[in-house]
A and B are shown apart, each in its own frame.
Chain A
């Protein structure tokens, strides 16, 4: 049973446009969500996070939106740059499960010139 789902295995976006990556979850106890970015042959690197008490968090070109009623979060990248081409993982955690991170399967983002 996948508690965190990233339903798009890949996404192709024109350079300069907005990239929107989506993530759905099933466990209503999740209260902290993170996005990680992964380049080939490297480990994931932390990008941005959001607590369930917020519905939006921004960091430069990256914004994460959380819709608790829909159990959905999204990562917006504006404007998209070639260096953004990577695999993006959504992860979620809950205090009652000792903050263990539950990961989605990832979305491969390709930025086209």
Chain B
């Protein structure tokens, strides 16, 4: 158990809909990262937050947005969903916002868009 929790575990929705994925980092970790893993692909970095502020942006679509709250949990919002958004979404956390920090991953949310 990495200490990172993600909810929900599974999500099935229809095209055009909006969903919110939630992540609670390990106790004491200030950074949260979101990743997308499509079928048989590597992990694609989406976005990083550090202590409530956006720190780095990767290949995140404009239809997606995220935020980190004062209690350090984070939410990833996916809107106008398309079939291609079906994937595993992982959240990870690390102690600080920079440097070579090991990232601890949650179990992921599997999103299926029908």
Contacts and interface: CB of A to CB of B under 8 A. Distances in A.
A66 B41 CA distance: 24
B106 A32 contact: no
A99 B105 contact: no
Contacts of A36: 105
Could you say which interface size class chain B belongs to?
20 to 34
Contact of A105 (B41, B58, B101, B102): B41
Interface string A32-54: 10101000011111100101000
Contacts, number: 57
Interface in B1-48: 2, 4, 40-45, 48
Contacts of A49: 100, 102
Interface of B: 2, 4, 40-45, 48, 55-56, 58, 90, 92, 98-108
Could you say which interface size class chain A belongs to?
20 to 34
Contacts of A41: 107-108
A100 B56 contact: yes
A93 B103 CA distance: 12
Q: Which 3 A-B pairs have the closest CB atoms?
A: A43-B105, A103-B42, A105-B42
